[in-house]
Amino acid sequence: MKIRSADRPRAKEKEYHAAPDTVSGMVLRAQSGFYWVQTGAGMVECKLRGRLKRERQNTDIAVIGDDVAITIIDTGKGAIEAVLPRRSRLARKAAGSRGVGIEDVIVANLNQVLLIFACAQPAFTPRMLDRYLVICEHSELAPIIVATKVDLVSTDEAHAMLAPYERVGYRVIYASTQSGQGIDEVRQSLAGRISVVTGKSGVGKSSLLNAVVPELNLATRTVSAHLGGKGRHTTTVAELLPLSLEGGGYVADTPGIREIGLWNLPPEDLDGCFRELRPFLGECYYTGCTHIHEPACAVRAALAAGQIDPARYDSYVRLRAGEQ
């Protein structure tokens, strides 16, 4: 059985030794070249040192969640001297990069990802959810699927939409800001953790967070009929928000994402990012089987036997073909 890239030994990160005059902190907000860093002494508004910007980068230099070392220049002002190695990240191929090797890091050093998908208005998009889950699996991030607006469909409809994911072990929370269903469960999942709430526009991310922690008072908008049922961006800046919950925690409310391209995922590692395919990997007759056209394929045999959901398999085939 081949080894996925997530399972291979990782290269040792270069150790960073802070200079005596630097202060450590975490980036809570990033906008237009400015970074707001939470330190032990309070919030500091920072810019990057020129040498950091001059270094060749195929990824974002600093994002929310990054641990950084800064020097204080003036009261409440500073400069980021170094960005420490990231322990984890939620990232995608930069939107519109068309194959150019640019990584768009949404948030760094997080514990979990809450994938927000509406049951209706806008319509549930399973292939987009599959792409998110592949990214989480490849990055070894813990995903929680939150199905919002469950009050707009029947209970049976909501559970039928998410049944293929629950069957392979994904945690699903069914939530409604109108009825209050699932709000306590979301609140408990956020407490004491660094989380990101993500999904496309209009699914109710900000409304959900307002229901969970009313003090956040995030701006919300209704889904516009003029946009064909698509949501409009309410959140315009990625920001880590401190949570007034028992145990604390932070949550990132990100701008709505319409495009989620896979970043740095070799095609031969894709099968290992689908949980239901894993039990059959290494059982195929041919080494390097793509599970698409080869004879004596254990994955396709499991598909024919009803052990793999056809829609999920179709997502695998499309992603293996390069569809984003």
The CATH number of the domain where 164 resides is what? 3.40.50.300
Residue 11 has pLDDT above 50, yes or no: no
Tokens read off for 62: 């600093």
Residues 249 and 157 in one domain: yes
CATH code for the domain in which residue 72 is found: 2.40.50.140
Residues 247 and 302 in one domain: no
Q: 6 lies in a domain?
A: no
Position 67 confidence tier, pLDDT thresholds 50, 70, 90: very high
Q: 258 lies in a domain?
A: no
Last residue of a domain, one of 211, 231, 253: 253
User: Does the predicted TM-score (pTM) go above 0.95?
Assistant: no
Evaluate whether 241 touches 253 at the Cβ level (below 8 Å).
yes
Residues 218 and 121 in one domain: yes
- The pLDDT, as a whole number, for residue 223 is 46
Q: 103 lies in a domain?
A: yes
Q: Structural domain of residue 235, as residue ranges?
A: 89-253
d(CA 122, CA 202): 7
Evaluate whether 198 touches 113 at the Cβ level (below 8 Å).
yes
What interhelical angle do 205-212 and 183-190 show, nearest 10?
A: 80
Q: What is the mean pLDDT of residues 303-320?
A: 96
Q: 27 lies in a domain?
A: yes
Residue 281 has pLDDT above 60, yes or no: yes
d(CA 263, CA 241): 26
Residues 223 and 200 in one domain: yes
Residues 303 and 232 in one domain: no
Q: 177 lies in a domain?
A: yes
Q: 15 lies in a domain?
A: no
- The pLDDT, as a whole number, for residue 3 is 41
Residues 45 and 141 in one domain: no
Tokens read off for 137: 């699996």
Last residue of a domain, one of 83, 101, 119: 83
d(CA 191, CA 99): 38
Bridge partners (DSSP) of residue 47 are 79
What Cα–Cα distance (Å) separates residue 264 from each residue in 42, 66, 148? 36, 20, 30
Position 224 confidence tier, pLDDT thresholds 50, 70, 90: very low
Q: Burial-class residue 146 by CB neighbours within 10 Å (0-12, 13-18, 19+).
A: buried
Q: Angle at Cα 295 formed by Cα 292 and Cα 299, nearest 5°?
A: 55
What Cα–Cα distance (Å) separates residue 201 from each residue in 121, 197, 230, 253, 323? 10, 12, 7, 12, 21
Residue 216 has pLDDT above 60, yes or no: yes
Position 211 confidence tier, pLDDT thresholds 50, 70, 90: very high
Residues 237 and 103 in one domain: yes
Residues 212 and 249 in one domain: yes
d(CA 265, CA 271): 11
Decide: helix, strand or coil at residue 138. Answer: helix
Q: What is the mean pLDDT of residues 205-211?
A: 91
Pick from 144, 77, 128, 135: which is nearest to 264 by CA?
Answer: 135
CATH code for the domain in which residue 311 is found: 1.10.40.50
Residues 220 and 106 in one domain: yes
The total of structural domains in the chain comes to 3
Residues 291 and 176 in one domain: no
- The pLDDT, as a whole number, for residue 255 is 64
Pick from 140, 242, 115, 255: which is nearest to 191 by CA?
Answer: 242
Q: 16 lies in a domain?
A: no
d(CA 254, CA 257): 8
Q: 11 lies in a domain?
A: no
Residues 35 and 106 in one domain: no
Residues 166 and 221 in one domain: yes
